[in-house]
Structure 1
Amino acid sequence: MFPTGGGGRKSNLRPINVLKLSRGFTLVELLVVIAIIGILATLLLLQLGTARSKARDASRIAHINQVRSAVEFFFDDNGKYFDSTTMTTLKGLTQIPRDLLAADCTNNVYDGRTSGAAQCYGYAWSPAANPIKYHIWAELEVWAKALDQDTDINSTGWSGAPVNGGVDAKTNCTPAASDCVYDQGQP
């Protein structure tokens, strides 16, 4: 109790609690926090999609480099590169990473400048008999730094699945276009 200032009498007044303690969150505070969490989750999901595309492209680049090594080893042993006859007799190679001799992009091989051509692989060779040139390539989903270090071969007119691998400029490499060709080979 507090002294009243007069003669030792005590007052029955209680002290006033100036600060009132709140025991919960207001609806506005909860809505703001939920909105912030929603925005952050959306940004995170957008980044995951890009990361997945880049991971699939890295896998395609690794496939092309592995098959390139196999093609070079074949050349060392046989004095020529694969053609359609040797491709089909070598078990397993026609399915690594996909059938490199299929007929169109919807069946996993590039058929020209078609939209939505991502995930295509192809192999072309020249001349048709006893090939001394080859071109192995994959269609990437997004532009990658590896496109600056690939071979950029134009195999138009060759046997197999030819493509102009020189069309991989960063400005042309979009999900709607088929201009992200990562290629290796012997021009």
Structure 2
Amino acid sequence: MKIFTKKGFTLIELLVVIAIIGILASIVLVSLGGARDKAKDARAIADMSQIRATAEMIYASDGDYDNVKCTHDDMKVLCADINAQTGNDVSISIPASPALKYCASVKLLSKKDAADNYYCIDSTGIAKETTGACAATHTCP
């Protein structure tokens, strides 16, 4: 008489394992959402630093900040990249000509509900997370 031994897994066992893997995968994907937003914010902040450097080069060549705009050839790519990362446009504030100061800010993704959900740079050297866009004085709030 031949004795048959059980080989492999039953259908129920396979379904349970697949369900557990699915649950774990969904937990990982949900937790990565915040990390993606933080990475996009980090890139936007790096681009804002490049905008500040470009603004200083414009000031050095022109003697004012009148051309510190997202339409300027040197800033188009930076402003477009920030928009692609955050979905928000860079807000640049300059006074009437001759502009001797400027302020630029962008709304961040990862801090939607936080009070300091903007990143701001200005001609005084400030670069920080703030509670709002540029002030009427063309400086970071």
TM-score by length of 2: 0.67
Measured in 1, the distance between the counterparts of 2:70 and 2:42 equals 27
Q: 1:181 aligns with which of 105, 108, 118?
A: 118
User: How do 1:10-159 residues align onto structure 2 when only pairs under 5 Å count?
Assistant: 21-83=5-67, 87=69, 90-98=72-80, 118-126=87-95, 128-143=96-111
Which stretches in structure 1 are left out of the alignment for 5+ residues? 1-13, 101-107, 109-116, 144-169, 174-178
Q: Is the 8 A contact 1:137 1:182 kept in 2?
A: yes
Name which of structure 1's ranges 74-83 and 36-45 shifts more when overlaid on structure 2. 74-83
| Secondary structure, aligned partner of 1:30 | helix
CA distance in 2, matches of 1:64, 1:92: 13
* Bigger share in helix: 2
SS of 1:98's equivalent in the other structure is: helix
Report the CA distance between 1:68 and its aligned residue: 0.6
Question: Residues 89 and 57 from structure 1, CA distance in 2 versus in 1: closer, same or farther, beyond 3 angstroms?
Answer: closer
Q: 1:125 & 1:58 partners in 2: Cα distance?
A: 25
Distance in 2 separating the partners of 1:67 and 1:183: 11
In the alignment of these two chains, the number of paired residues is: 121
Residue equivalent to 1:161: none
Root-mean-square deviation (Å): 3.2
Q: Once the 2 structures are TM-superposed, how far is the Cα of residue 138 of structure 1 from its aligned partner?
A: 1.6
- The amino acid that maps onto 1:185 is D
Q: Highest CA radius of gyration, 1 or 2?
A: 1
Secondary structure at the aligned position of 2:35 is classed as helix
Q: CA deviation at 1:89?
A: 7.8
Q: Deviations over 1:42-62 (max 9, x none)?
A: 112223332322222111111
Tell me, what secondary structure is at the counterpart of 1:97?
A: helix
Whole-Å separation in 2 of the counterparts to 1:24 and 1:99 = 53
> Could you tell me the TM-score, scaled by structure 1's length?
0.53
Identical residues among aligned pairs (%) = 36
